[in-house]
Amino acid sequence: MEVVGLLCLAAAVLAWGFLWVWDSSERMKSQEQAGLLGGGSRSLLVIAHPDDEAMFFAPTVLGLARLRHRVSLLCFSAGNYYNQGEIRKKELLQSCDVLGIPPSSVRIIDNRDFPDDPGVQWDTQRVASVLLWHIEENGINLVVTFDAVGVSGHSNHVAVYAAVRTLHSEGRLPKGCSVLTLQSVNVLRKYISLLDLPFSLLHTRDVLFVLTSKEVAQAKRAMSCHRSQLLWFRRLYVLFSRYMRINSLQFL
């Protein structure tokens, strides 16, 4: 019994220490990032499908809100792969509302040029053209999107990154407009939830957002708005994925 008691005490001390480091690092990062990203910026989250904002980018959206950014969202498809486009558009608006993005700041592109289909390669220049118009029209000075892997490897995610990369590399973005990309990680790290935090602290290149317990609940509420997508494996994703709690990002 004494051994069990000691083990429980040791576990409690380790848990307390882990949470203390997490809280301290989160506050420190928030202070650093306030200077790095600039408070009050107009930020644009660029995604491929409804639910990307909650499944992958919730820590970034809520983290930017902490820094008083005005966040808007551009979604390049209605998610109509299973003929659920109209339902998924409504779910996206509900999710964005939970995350603090008003309907007036959400734009969904429902266009045959950009079908929700991993087997179709979107034209990079067409995506870039639509994106650039949206950036200029709304005075955006920070664009957030996927990296070259696209977290899951989905070709539509990669296509969005390719368009942003093209605008950046060709110098077509407005002066003062920066780009942040969400770092993809291996499968093991992807599904160990907060246990990935030490690795994230070591390997994040530029920006790290870690959600508080209250914010995690908010992110889960946002994901729960996507009822049409909550199959059993996505429910497991919500429980175990680091992307529901941690986002590591880097500047292009």
Closest CA to 103 of 95, 114, 113: 95
CA 21, distance to chain mean position in Å, is 23
The number of residues in the chain equals: 252
Q: What gap in Å lies between CA 194 and CA 181, rounded to an integer?
A: 21
Structure tokens at 90: 């409504």
| DSSP result, 199-234 | HHHHH-SSEEEE--HHHHHHHHHHHHT-GGG--HHH
Q: What is the pLDDT of residues 78-135, one digit of tens each?
A: 999 999 999 999 999 999 999 999 999 999 999 999 999 999 999 999 999 999 999 9
Give the mean model confidence (pLDDT) for residues 214-222: 97
Structure tokens at 96: 């964005």
pLDDT of residue 33: 53
Q: What is the pLDDT of residues 4-51, one digit of tens each?
A: 444 444 444 344 444 444 454 444 454 455 455 766 689 999 999 999
Q: What gap in Å lies between CA 156 and CA 16, rounded to an integer?
A: 41
- pLDDT > 90: percent of the chain: 82
Up-side HSE of residue 174: CA atoms within 13 Å toward CB? 16
